[in-house]
Amino acid sequence: MLTEEQRLVDDAARRYSREVLAPGAAAREKALAIEPAVFEGLASIGLLGMTVSPDWDGAGADYVSYALALMAVAEGDGAVSTVMSVHNAPFCAILERYGSDAHKAEVLRPAARGEFIGAFALTESQAGSDASALRTRAVRHGDRYVINGAKQFITSGKIGRYTIVFAVTDPANTKRGISAFLVPTDSTGYSVSKIEHKLGQKASDTCSLQFDDLELPLAAMIGGEGEGYKIALSSLESGRIGIASQSVGMAQAALDAAIRYAGERTSFGKRLMDHQAVNFRLVDAKTKLEAARQLVLSAARMKDAGVPCLEQACMAKLFASETAEAVCSVAIQTFGGYGYVEDFPVERIYRDVRVCQIYEGTSDIQKIIIGRSLAA
């Protein structure tokens, strides 16, 4: 069902994941960081600008290839896959679609080549899925915008070289008063106020950001004034396909580990795999995970065909993220007490996958969007 190009992408991503990412995942978690060499490796096989046009130094891959690559990377290290996902979409995707020629030449090109990591700053302490509740303000003073406010739960807020920041430019207009800005993270007034200590994906930095009289030239605005809300929503399809892909990849790693263990460990004179209770549990997990995979690939194919697929992307993200947690739970149960300790990877993967039901829109938000189609 895959083209030769898609198979090549999948093979390259899986090889890198197997040889580099998986062996170092536990060490990255303990270090609370991803080593630069990992990003250099991802860039070398074109995974940090996957769907960006070759005109802007991207790989020009389709979304099926992107989904396959994210699944493969997530199998090796969920934290790395999160950084890869945010960098590709929304960061690069927004710059390619809405950025000025200068943004594309000066920022998108090196980003697509993987020379640095980009971040996306929309969420605030009181505004998660409800982007219209933003309090960060951008006030124009002559030929400058001055930004004041704060953001929370920002992936790569510390390691990113540029961040797409959303701020209110017209407080009187709820949704059309938001604008997007391309912000260099070394700007005066940009600071990381806190690095979150998380349940999982600890190697991927998740930060609170503070903006104190951060001055930007008018040219830093992405799109037109008041287009920020539209820009933020523009990457929903690709973003949710990405998180769904991550979910499948992490769950696959946990299931593979459980299947190997069940084939090696003996109990009551036979392999765990030969106990029907264990066998059936793994069969159910494998079947549900395959259903999740096909939902993801179906949404990706629709995206490639230019067909609106927000509903399908939401269904894929909802089902894949919730299935992934269940599959990881089955994996831990298969390992028994060993599954609950750090000696085996399923404990870490279980923690890493849990956030997939939260970021890029919670499961409840996915249901709200899907539910709208029922009354259409």
As annotated, the active-site residues are 360
Q: Are strands 144-155 and 206-217 parallel, antiparallel or unpaired?
A: antiparallel
Cα–Cα distance for residue pair 306/289, rounded to 1 Å = 26
Cα–Cα distance for residue pair 87/21, rounded to 1 Å = 18
Cα–Cα distance for residue pair 45/153, rounded to 1 Å = 29
Please provide the size of the chain in residues.
Answer: 376
CA angle 92, 96, 97 (to 5 degrees): 120
Cα–Cα distance for residue pair 185/162, rounded to 1 Å = 5
297 within 8 A of 66, measured Cβ to Cβ: no
